[in-house]
Homo-oligomer: A and B are copies of this chain.
Amino acid sequence: MGMTTSPALHPDLAPLAFLLGSWSGTGHGQYPTIADFSYQETVTYTHVGKPFIVYTQRTQDPHTGAPMHTESGYLRPVGPAVAEMVLSQPSGIVEVHHVAIDGPSIEMVSTTVVRTPTAKPVSAVRRIVTVDGPVMRYTMDMAAMGLELQFHLSAELSWG
């Protein structure tokens, strides 16, 4: 980024270094209020030498390439196995998460979800991300539209 290229990893990020890179692959989604769907996804976790990770995500229609969802945010370690995550979405939703780090896996549980007046009523989110060598897998559970927290998304992504 800018004048600082290839900065050294901040030592606080060592427990989260397994996330770093660009990951692409295919995901699937479902929810009782919508039709099942699939998507092509690219997720990036990068750093600039400071004690946080920059997260970006975008998905595309697997057939047409048209952009679907996107979101971005930041992951910041605050203890040996604990981090904080914030992210925002163009749909008018922001999520604040408590993050538990367990080896090459993180579990993000929302402490707050805030919505703009026109956003869909999402009230809670849980995201689990696990890296196994060159493969990243994640699941996302969501409570929305008045329904309880339940499975919404899963994807398998490859590094590079």
Contact partner of A90 among B76, B92, B119, CB < 8 A?
B76
Complex CA distance for A91 and B86, rounded to whole angstroms: 9
One complex includes copies of this chain to the number of 2
Contact partner of A89 among B70, B86, B93, B111, CB < 8 A?
B86
With A48-B67, A67-B49 as contacts: A73 and B88 at CB distance below 8 Å:
yes
Per DSSP, are chain A's interface residues mostly helix, strand or loop, or mixed? strand
A115 contacts which chain B residues (CB < 8 A)?
96
Complex CA distance for A96 and B72, rounded to whole angstroms: 14
Q: Using a CB–CB distance below 8 Å, which chain A residues touch chain B?
A: 1-4, 7, 42, 48-50, 52, 54, 56, 58, 60, 65-67, 70, 72-74, 76, 78, 84, 86-96, 111-112, 114-119
